[in-house]
Chains A and B, each alone.
Chain A
């Protein structure tokens, strides 16, 4: 019986466990070459290099662009974390054949912690509350100092990443160990981790969203903001899982294992969370518009003028109306081509949403999408995807000894 070994220390950040793909049943072994992770890494490296060049020319813009791309990757990783937690807690069986992809995404957190270092250098450019002179003349910012100060901010970020990485490690390790040993107690162990994990994840996500995004405009506040960020993240992960399955299948893997039925379910959940995101986004906007209290309204005023109103309209049409009507139909959810196109579109919209949250702080007077925005986004997402794919193909592509695998393989929508 095989056991799960730790990988070499040099590889730890990429994949903490030695490859177990050799022990996987033939059907679940990756059939293909290095290109599946090499190409995204290459694209990511090119993107990030051109993105980092912006640090020399326009550091202010660079930091905002970099933060947007980095938070986008963070929401994808958080989405994966929530996905895995919820599958375990609900003892979901349909999703087992796609769960390994989400599990491989989990270990993105340590990588993101490393990729987050440039953000730390840019705190002064990003966050108005780091300016001592501004705080001194502004009683509101001064009042927030106990929470919004650099040392505490760094401690909080460290805590978030430690907690997320710990959860990721436990969930990933247990799942891979099950491939090796087939231990019958693993599902119960995973549920135990997920129970406290979900509570901790919810708290850390909310506070991370206040720290990284809401405090970009330190005068503004909204209690729903954490839920808003969660909604976008959770929508994106379903879209990404469907896309990853399609990419793997197009290269000859998982044939007949991930079926149209699974795509339909992923499409349903994507649809559901498109609607949930809209519900949260609309609630936040409508309540602030209706009350029209100056300190809250200003945030939306920035996003409804100087060209940003176009971005807001694109968000409404592209993040809700178009995917809503397209994903309503059963035929679309069961068509790989159409579902794939919508999923790509929605991932772009998720980035656009984060850009819409952050960029107006930097450019209140003119709406832009800067070249650096795109370069950093493509760069960071490429690196994250490449490393994720590398991890994925080092192990069985599905949890091959899960006791419920059979149910998932023969799953049908009723």
Chain B
């Protein structure tokens, strides 16, 4: 049984045999020293994109929503597609932090911090779109149940109102979850800080954390409870987003599989975005020892799993559309596959269902350039999935006299590009000022964390 060790000992989660101090150095110095040149270049580009977003919003609010390509059959165009896209991206963060935590998957520790940050920034981008896609943005507070002089209340039967509650509470809980996880790490930065101002600022944000036994006990309990609360929340948020479509009677929208299928798609696209960002970040910041190939491989397995779930839902929808023998339902799907937007449907199919299937092969799962390409493809595919659901279902439904065609305008495109600017700017600021890896948690999973580690060394 000479080779038995390879079967019974797992590959270490953190390679390079780093001591606790080396770990701290590796992560914390990026939040302390001047960033590399490439960071300045990136933030320059993303700030320009962000500026472009602000200009587009101002232009659209001033001139009206008619500057977009939406028309009367297709009242929901790119803004809603972008909204669902960004909400979906956000879901992987909560999955990595909360659900994998509940399942005791210790490999999450290296990636959860960045994934949670990504969640928060993606949700900010998402919240933007329902806000600006209304015709009169200045009365958007009417969606809130506030006692007022008109005795008017919002309609609680509308899933668009549920969205307001779901996405805003999702944002708040994600923020609290992320911040609670940050406190011990901010205290580490505080203790390393050299300048007076930096010490004071980090001292305020780390809330007097000293890492005492009692602190840690309460902290672990709070973290577990937050994870337990965030898990049903994350499933319900994207289900509520799916209700926006599924409660309607539009063929292609009204289908019961939407809630779990949207959630699976969200995890799918979110993980793809995590892979996209982490492949770059681990290279640029030299943290390959923390985010190892094994981490990326596990994420690719989840991408394969959720991608297959989404594919399963596509097949189910096609089959049931035929099985239902409802003419409108059948036509909705014939139109997707062969209609004027067939190209969008086939982009979606090939990017979401076919592309991730390469991850069946271990060699391809561990191939960094390939997984980077696949993760980009998945995000393109998932954007098109929302486009297919939203636009193709709307542009041809019950009455042929109301059939139309949707063409986006330059404002649609620039607003979407701008939302990437917002996302990337926030993400780059996060990389610059906050430890991008959960230090306190990673220290718990390295071999040195075992109380008997040094006994084994000496014997």
Contact = CB atoms under 8 A, between A and B. Distances in A.
Interface of A: 90, 94, 139-140, 143-144, 147, 184-185, 187, 195, 199, 202-203, 206, 210, 221-227, 275, 279-280, 283-284, 286-288, 290-291, 293, 295, 403-404, 414
Given A195-B360, A206-B316, A279-B235, A291 B254 contact: yes
Contacts of B309: 202
A347 to B, nearest CB: 24
A414 B104 contact: yes
Contacts of A90: 103
A340 B325 CA distance: 45
A210 B324 CA distance: 12
Given A199-B308, A280-B259, 9 more contacts: A195-B360, A202-B312, A221-B320, A223-B320, A224-B259, A279-B235, A288-B256, A290-B247, A291-B249
Nearest to A188: B7
Contacts, number: 80
B149 interface: no
Interface string B299-328: 000000000110011001100100111100
B340 interface: no
A221 B323 contact: yes
Nearest to B220: A414
26 contacts: A139-B325, A147-B323, A184-B4, A195-B360, A199-B308, A203-B312, A206-B316, A210-B323, A221-B320, A223-B257, A223-B313, A224-B259, A224-B260, A225-B256, A226-B316, A227-B260, A279-B260, A286-B243, A287-B243, A287-B247, A287-B254, A290-B247, A291-B247, A293-B249, A295-B324, A403-B8
B14 interface: no
Nearest to B308: A199
A223 B255 contact: yes
A287 B4 CA distance: 53
B179 to A, nearest CB: 23
B232 interface: yes
B241 interface: no
A148 to B, nearest CB: 9
Nearest to B103: A90
A7 B236 CA distance: 50
Contacts of B313: 223
B325 A224 contact: no
Interface of B: 1, 3-4, 7-8, 103-104, 232, 235-236, 239, 243, 246-249, 254-260, 308-309, 312-313, 316-317, 320, 323-326, 360
Most A CB within 10 A of own CB, among B1, B7, B243: B7
Contacts of B323: 144, 147, 210, 221
Contacts of A291: 247-249, 254
Contacts of A224: 256-257, 259-260
Nearest to B105: A90
A275 B231 CA distance: 11
Contacts of A404: 8
A103 to B, nearest CB: 20
A293 B323 CA distance: 16
B109 to A, nearest CB: 14
Contacts of A203: 312
Contacts of A195: 360
A339 B299 CA distance: 35
User: Which 9 pairs between the two chains have the least Cβ-Cβ distance?
Assistant: A223-B257, A224-B256, A143-B325, A290-B247, A283-B259, A403-B8, A221-B324, A224-B257, A140-B325
Nearest to B313: A223
B174 to A, nearest CB: 20
Given A202-B312, A223-B320, A290-B247, A144 B256 contact: no
A140 B324 CA distance: 8
Contact of A223 (B103, B236, B317): B317
Contacts of A139: 325
Nearest to A285: B256
Nearest to B318: A223
A411 to B, nearest CB: 10
B364 to A, nearest CB: 14
B259 A279 contact: yes
A184 B3 contact: yes
A293 B308 CA distance: 30
Contacts of A414: 104
Contact of A279 (B239, B257, B258): B239
A390 B432 CA distance: 63
Contact of A184 (B7, B232, B236, B255): B7
Contacts of A295: 324, 326
Nearest to A182: B1
Nearest to A265: B104
A183 B255 CA distance: 48
B4 A403 contact: yes
A284 B261 CA distance: 13
Nearest to B255: A223
Contacts of A225: 256
A287 B256 CA distance: 6
A203 B314 CA distance: 12
A404 B243 CA distance: 44
Nearest to A220: B324
B316 A223 contact: yes
Contacts of B255: 223, 287
Nearest to A280: B260
B256 A222 contact: yes
A184 B7 CA distance: 7
A90 B301 CA distance: 10
A153 to B, nearest CB: 13
A89 to B, nearest CB: 8
Contacts of A279: 235-236, 239, 259-260
A364 B312 CA distance: 33
Contacts of A283: 239, 256, 258-260
Contacts of B326: 295
B352 to A, nearest CB: 15
A288 B316 CA distance: 17
A156 to B, nearest CB: 13
Contacts of B360: 195
Contacts of B247: 286-287, 290-291
A283 B8 CA distance: 43
Contacts of A222: 256, 320
A184 B1 contact: yes
A94 B105 CA distance: 12
B339 to A, nearest CB: 21
Nearest to A142: B325
Contacts of A275: 232
A90 B107 CA distance: 12
Contacts of A286: 243, 247
A406 B243 CA distance: 46
A207 to B, nearest CB: 8
A279 B261 CA distance: 13
Contact of A293 (B103, B104, B254): B254
A206 B313 CA distance: 11
Contact of B7 (A144, A280, A288, A403): A403
Contacts of B256: 222-225, 283-284, 287-288
